[in-house]
Chains A and B, each alone.
Chain A
Amino acid sequence: MTTTAHHPRTTPEIGGLGHSRRRVEDARFIEGRGNYVDDIELPGMLYMAIHRSPIAHGRILSIDTSEAEAVEGVLAVVTGELLAQYNLAWMPTLSGDTQAVLATDKVRFQGQEVAAVIATDRYIAEDAAELVQVEYEDLEAIVTPQRALDEDAPLIRDDKEDQESNLCYTWESGDKAAVEAAFSEAAKVVSLETFYPRSHPAPLETCGIVADVDSATGQATLYMTSQAPHAHRTVFALVAGLPEQNIRIVSPDIGGGFGNKVPVYPGYVVATAASLVIGKPVKWVESRTENLISTGFARDYYMKGELAVDDDGKILALKVDMLSDQGAFFADAQPTKFRAGLFHIVTGSYDYPAAYVSTRGAYTNKAPGGVAYRCSFRVTEASYMIERLVQNAAYEIGMDPAEFRAKNFIKPEQFPYATPTGFVYDSGDYEKAMRLAMDMVGYDEVQKEKEEARHEGRLVGIGMASFTEVVGAGHGEDYDILGLKMFDSAELRVHPTGKAILKLGVRSQGQGHETTFAQIVAEELGIPASDVKVVEGDTDNTPYGLGTYASRSTPVAGAATAMISRKLRDKAKKIAAHLLEASEDDLEWEPGKFSVAGDPDSSVTIQDVAFAAYTNPPPDMEAGLEGVNYYDPPNMTYPFGTYIVVVEVDPGSGQWKVRRMVAVDDCGVRINPMVVEGQIHGGLAEGYAMSSMQYITFDDLGNCIGSNFSDYLIPTAWETPRFELGETVTPSPHHPIGAKGVGESATVGSPAAFVNAVIDALWHLGVKNIDMPVSSDRVWAAMKEATSG
C-alpha cells in the first residue's frame, strides 16, 4: 500500500492531484483585497462593545447603565435582563450545555459578557462600555478542577436544576478488568503524570460579526468569523427562533481559525438581537484581550498514564486517567457520544490488547471552550500522553526509544486495526516513517554526539514522537454535533463552456480550499483546475455541511467532491457515447477526454461534452451537467508520522535551542504538496509554541494571566526552529482519492517530540518530566532539584 513519490496522473495544465499548483486565493490577499469581517461596512452600521466581568465568580447585585446610556452617540445598552424578555439570556453550546449570553444571575469567569453598548462609533461604544456600573457579591473563585470537585466547593452552575456538584461529565472507554489483569502480570509498570496546560488558538484575526437584520422582511444576514456557517445557522434558528430560511450566514475571508471560530459566542447573539431590535446593521469585533480571555480555549488536561510492559519490552496494556478543566460552561464542540472528544486515541501507534481510559471534566471559574485547537477533538492531549509515556518507558526498561517503538508498532499487515478503545485504524506503516525520519536526522550519529557532548559538560538531547491521529469525523452513525450527522457536501455545476463552479459546505480559513478542491475536480473530470471556481462560506449559496475543523475538509468534503465529479463523469460518458455514436462500453477515459477504444481519433473532450449537455443531450436524458453529493464517510482517517527533534540545553540557564527538527508525515495521497508542506510548517510552529512558551494560567482569584500578546507568548520567526520535512504515502483505503487530511498532524505530533528531546538531554541527571511549557526556568529548576538530592 505504501508508495513514496508523487506521480501526477494529469498534466500541469489540468493540474490534478500531486501538482504544487500556486494558490488562487493569493491574488486578493497580496494586494490587501481580502474581505474579512472587520472589512465589511454597511450603510448606517452601528458598533457594539461589551462590558465584561472583572471578577471570576460573583453574584450580580445590580447593573446601572444610566451613565453609559447618557453618552452622546449611544443608542442602547443591552443587559441580560433585557435579553431574558426575548428568551435570549442563555444559549445552547455545541456540547449540549447552556451558556449565558449576558449574565443575569452570576458571573462565572473573568471576562464574562455582562452588558453590551450599541453606538454610532466604535470609540464611543468602547468608552460607554467602561461606564456600565455593576455591583457584585464576591464568591470563591475555583481555578482548578481538583478544587472544583471538593465536596465543599461552591456550586458554579447553580443555574442548572439537576446539577449538584461541579462535575461536568464522566466518560470511559476500554476494558478495565482486562487492563487490571495485564497490569498484575506485568514485569514493569511505568507511569507518568502530566498537565497539558490551557492554551488558546489565537488566530491573528479575532472573532466578530456584522449582523444585518432587515426589520421589514425579517431577513437576517450575518457576516461572521465562522468555521462552520451551516451549523451556526441552525444554532441561530434554534436560539433566536428565527425561521432558518431567513438566516443567511456569510463567512467571508477568515484570518485563521484553528478551532477558535467553531463555537457560537455571546457577542454574535447580542449583535444580532440588537440589529433586530434597532433595525440597523451592528458590527462587533473583539479586541485581542477579549479574544484571549473569553473565547474558546484549548487543552487544560491533567493526565496520568500507566504502561504495563513485559520482560522483552512488549507493551501489555495502557491505563489513563484524565481530569479536564472545562471552565464555566461546557462549550467544547464535541461529537455527542464522546464527552472527552476522541481522547481515547491515546493508545497511539502501538499494538496491545488492553486499554482503559477514564475521564472526568469539571466546571471551574474560567472561560469556557475546550475547543480542538488545531486538533481533532482532544487528540493532541492524547498523542502527547502516549508519546511522552513511551519514551519514559523505553528509558526505564533500558531500551532505545526508537527500538522500543519499533517493537510495539502496529504492523502494516495488521490494518485495518481495531484498537482496544474502539477505533479502527484504516492504514499505516509506522516503522517506515520512523526509519525515514531517523535516516534524515542521522539518528545514530546524533546519539554518538550526545555521549561525546556529555563528556564535555554539554547537554544534547534527541526526542521523537511517532503519532497516530484520528481525523475526518465522521460516520454519521457515531458522530454528530447536536444531532447533526457529521457528513459534508459538494455541489458541482459544469457550465456549457466547460468551466465549472464547486460549492462546498466547509469553510477555509487559510487552508487553500479554492486551490486544492479544484484540483480534485481536475483529477476526476479533466477540467483544468484553473477553470473551476470554488465557493464556500455562504449558507444561501452552498450545500449544507458541518464545517472545517478536526481536519475534516479533505476526508469528508474532499471525498464528496470526488464522488460528485465521478457521478458527473458517468453522465458525461453517456453524452460522449451519444456524440461519438458509439457504445458506452467502447469508450476509454483519460483525464479530460473520452475516445473510442482502438480509434483514438474518435474522441470528444470534457468541454465538448459539457456543451452538448446543454445543447445536444441524448434524447432520453435530462439536460445539464450538475449534481450534489452528501458524503458520509465509512470510517475516519488516521494520518501518522514521526517527528524527531535535537536540542541543546544550556546547563547554566536551562535555555534550550532546537538544532534540528525533522518531520516525516504520512497523510495519504497529497492533493497539493506545496499546500501540505505549508500546513505542516504551521502546525510544527504551533507545537513548538505550546512546548516552549505559549500557555494561559490564572491566579488564585481567577485573574487570567495571558490576556494579551505580551503575556501570552507566541513564537516569532526569531525563536521558531527551521523544519526539515519528509514523507511517506500510505493511502486511506476507504477515501475516494486516498487522502487523509493534514492540517493538524503537526500540532498533534510535535509537542511530545520537543519535550522528549529536552527530557532526553536531562534523563541521566534524573529528570523524568517537565510539564509544558518547558521554559528555561522550569528546566533549570528541574535540573537543580534532580542534582541536589
Chain B
Amino acid sequence: MKITVTVNGTEHSPDVEPRLLLVDFLRSTLKLTGTHIGCDTTSCGVCTVLVDGTPVKSCTYFAVQANGRSITTVEGLKQNGQLAPIQEAFKEHHGLQCGFCTPAMMLVGSALIEENPNPSEDDVRWAISGNLCRCTGYMNIVKSIQAAAETTRQGASS
C-alpha cells in the first residue's frame, strides 16, 4: 500500500506491506534505529514515538495507520544542531544508564511538557507509567523531565 507519512519533518511516500509495523518501517526502512523494540506487546514502551504529538507504541501500530500523519522520533528532537531541553536534562540529571528506554522516555516527557508545562512528580510518574526502565528506578528520569519542564518554561517566558 502506498502511504504518505512525515517523519521528523521530512515527507516519505513508501509502498508498504499492510502488515508492516510502524516500528519496523522506522527502523528498517528509514534506518531510524533510535526507536527500539522491547516486548512486541505494547507493554514496555521503548518503541514509543509521537504521532501528531501523541505518544504511540509503534510495535503494535501498523505503518499504514500513520498515513497522512506526522511522526516524531528521537532523531527529530535536536533542532538546528541544538539539543532539546529534554535531551540536555537527561544528560545533566543522569536520567539514563543503558540508554535503551531513553528515546521513548524523552519523547513521552516532551509530550507531557507540551500539555502540562509544570508537571508535579506524580504527573510525571503517571505520564511515563507506560514506559519501563530496568536501570534507573525512575528517580532520575522523573527529575530530568521536571528539569526539562523548568527549562522550557524559562525559555518560553524569556
Does A associate with B in a complex? yes
Binary contact readout B105-138 vs A (1 if CB under 8 angstroms, 0 otherwise): 0100000000000000000111011111111111
CB of A204 within 8 A of CB of B100, answer yes
Contacts of A686 in B (CB 8 A): 134, 137
In the complex, which of the residues B31, B40, B99, B141 contacts A25, with contact meaning CB atoms closer than 8 Å?
B99
Contacts of B74 in A (CB 8 A): 30-32
Closest beta carbon of chain B to A434's beta carbon, Å:
22
Given A31-B74, A255-B36, A720-B138, is A123 in contact with B100 using a C-beta cutoff of 8 Å?
A: no
- Whether A23 is near chain B, meaning CB under 8 Å from some CB there, is yes
Binary contact readout B22-41 vs A (1 if CB under 8 angstroms, 0 otherwise): 00100100011111111111
Contacts of B102 in A (CB 8 A): 29-30
CB of B96 within 8 A of CB of A716, answer no
Contacts of B58 in A (CB 8 A): none
CB of B39 within 8 A of CB of A288, answer yes
What is the CA–CA distance of A674 and B17 in the complex, to the nearest angstrom? 46
What is the CA–CA distance of A122 and B40 in the complex, to the nearest angstrom? 14
Contacts of A28 in B (CB 8 A): 99
Q: Which of A287, A675, A720 has the most CB of B within 10 A?
A: A720
CB of A31 within 8 A of CB of B78, answer yes
Contacts of B125 in A (CB 8 A): 716-718
What is the CA–CA distance of A510 and B125 in the complex, to the nearest angstrom? 22
Q: Which of B38, B92, B140 has the most CB of A within 10 A?
A: B38
- Whether B87 is near chain A, meaning CB under 8 Å from some CB there, is yes
What is the CA–CA distance of A679 and B98 in the complex, to the nearest angstrom? 11
Within 675-691 of A, Cβ neighbours of B (below 8 Å) are at 675, 677-679, 681-686
CB of B37 within 8 A of CB of A709, answer no
Within 67-113 of B, Cβ neighbours of A (below 8 Å) are at 73-75, 77-78, 83, 87, 90-92, 94, 96-103, 106
- Whether A256 is near chain B, meaning CB under 8 Å from some CB there, is yes
CB of A203 within 8 A of CB of B35, answer no
What is the CA–CA distance of A41 and B100 in the complex, to the nearest angstrom? 18
Given A709-B41, A723-B137, is A674 in contact with B35 using a C-beta cutoff of 8 Å?
A: no
On chain B, which size bracket covers the interface?
35 or more
Chain B residue nearest in CB terms to A203: B134
What is the CA–CA distance of A41 and B130 in the complex, to the nearest angstrom? 29
- Whether B46 is near chain A, meaning CB under 8 Å from some CB there, is yes
- Whether A336 is near chain B, meaning CB under 8 Å from some CB there, is no
CB of A682 within 8 A of CB of B129, answer no
Binary contact readout A27-38 vs B (1 if CB under 8 angstroms, 0 otherwise): 111111110101
CB of B101 within 8 A of CB of A512, answer no
What is the CA–CA distance of A253 and B132 in the complex, to the nearest angstrom? 19
CB of B87 within 8 A of CB of A30, answer yes
CB of A205 within 8 A of CB of B98, answer yes
Contacts of B126 in A (CB 8 A): 717-718
- Whether A605 is near chain B, meaning CB under 8 Å from some CB there, is no
CB of B132 within 8 A of CB of A716, answer yes
CB of B98 within 8 A of CB of A254, answer yes
Binary contact readout A475-499 vs B (1 if CB under 8 angstroms, 0 otherwise): 0000000000000000000000000
- Whether A323 is near chain B, meaning CB under 8 Å from some CB there, is no
Closest beta carbon of chain B to A523's beta carbon, Å:
20
Closest beta carbon of chain B to A254's beta carbon, Å:
7
Given A23-B91, A288-B40, is A716 in contact with B131 using a C-beta cutoff of 8 Å?
A: yes
Shortest 7 CB-CB contacts between residues of A and residues of B: A32-B34, A510-B98, A29-B99, A255-B100, A685-B137, A709-B43, A32-B74
Interfacial residues, chain B to chain A (CB-CB below 8 A) = 17, 19, 24, 27, 31-41, 43-44, 46, 73-75, 77-78, 83, 87, 90-92, 94, 96-103, 106, 124-126, 128-142
Q: What are 25 of the A-B contact pairs (CB < 8 Å)?
A: A32-B34, A32-B35, A32-B74, A33-B34, A34-B34, A34-B99, A36-B100, A39-B27, A123-B17, A204-B36, A205-B100, A256-B98, A288-B38, A288-B41, A289-B40, A512-B97, A678-B135, A685-B136, A686-B137, A708-B43, A709-B132, A710-B43, A714-B134, A716-B125, A717-B141
Give me 7 other A-B pairs in contact (C-beta within 8 A), A256-B134, A509-B98 excluded. Answer: A32-B103, A38-B37, A204-B36, A255-B99, A677-B94, A682-B97, A709-B132
